[in-house]
Amino acid sequence: MSSSESSAPTVRATVVQASTIFYDTPATLDKAERLLAEAASYGSQLVVFPEAFVGGYPRGSNFGVSIGNRTLKGKEDFRKYHAAAIDVPGPEVDRLAAMAGKYKVFLVMGVIERDGYTLYCTVVFFNNQGCYLGKHRKLMPTALERIIWGFGDGSTVPVFDTPIGKIGAAICWENKMPLLRTAMYAKGIEIYCAPTADSREVWQASMTHIALEGGCFVLSANQFCRRKDYPAPPEYVFSGTEQDLTPESVVCAGGSVIISPSGTVLAGPNYDGEALITADLDVGEIARAKFDFDVVGHYARPEVLSLMVRDHPATPVCFTSEASHK
């Protein structure tokens, strides 16, 4: 059934496939606004940016780490990366909120969040009135990401009920965590955002599976980057591959995609360059898909299989005087 045959509303959504301006957060925010303005000019109501778009995904870097040793250059690399991160909330979040309000779009943005001297790979959410809604911190960084990013907890796994649908996000390989997905399905997610750094073709299989499993729209946004989008060596080095790269070498090929609850690819995947990938989401597809399979509804067997989610903040230090004043 086409959207024209359905009485359900449609939502125009865009996933942004573009690179960070590395180590230059103000310039990256300027670029984000240009892309947001372009998407809004196409009538987009929801715009999703890639993982770590603000702050940068430090592809190829090892931060000078080997077991038992950290180099001085690696420590300086971390200092610069920390400086490019943003506070949430903070002035950059305020600017992103103002952009969402200016262009009247719901905005989902991947950022590197700075909390003191620990960084988190985070997604921040804004409504089309320019209000910051909240954030999701990546629960499980992958491989060497764990030396630079902290771990999120169950208090930042939100699904926001908005006029265009229930929106949430999981970042990159945490999309492979079935219990996390189940928690999001239980919160009623309808527009499942999947900012990522994985441009392999096999990523598409995961995105299609999630759409079918969750009966939801899946919007996956990845960066498209060439070597020249990162600082030149020796300031920034792609460990193990630098000698094989030219400035034009593609180091992340994108693959951003929009998939319907029936598993139909609505737009993308795009491996060609920076792009805005747009599709109209027929909201009626959700009910039609859930009729077949509702993973936390009529297809659940809670007397056999159930899940408990610890969704309180996991803070390492609590002060009793603060608690008594609340």
**149, two tokens:** 């990013």
Q: Residue 226 is encoded by which pair of tokens?
A: 């060439």
Q: Hey, what are 129's tokens? A: 């009135």
Q: Which of 138, 216, 252, 290 is catalytic?
A: 138
Catalytic, out of 113, 121, 172, 252 = 172
What type of residue sits at position 206? Answer: S
Helix (H) or strand (E) holding 72: helix 72-84
User: Smallest Cα–Cα separation from 266: which of 62, 42, 11, 21?
Assistant: 11
Q: What is the DSSP letter of 188?
A: T
Catalytic residue among 31, 51, 135, 216: 51
172 tagged catalytic = yes
Strands (DSSP E) along the chain, which ranges?
10-17, 46-48, 65-66, 69-70, 106-115, 118-126, 132-137, 159-162, 165-169, 191-193, 217-220, 224-226, 250-253, 256-259, 265-270, 275-282
| Catalytic residue list | 51, 138, 172
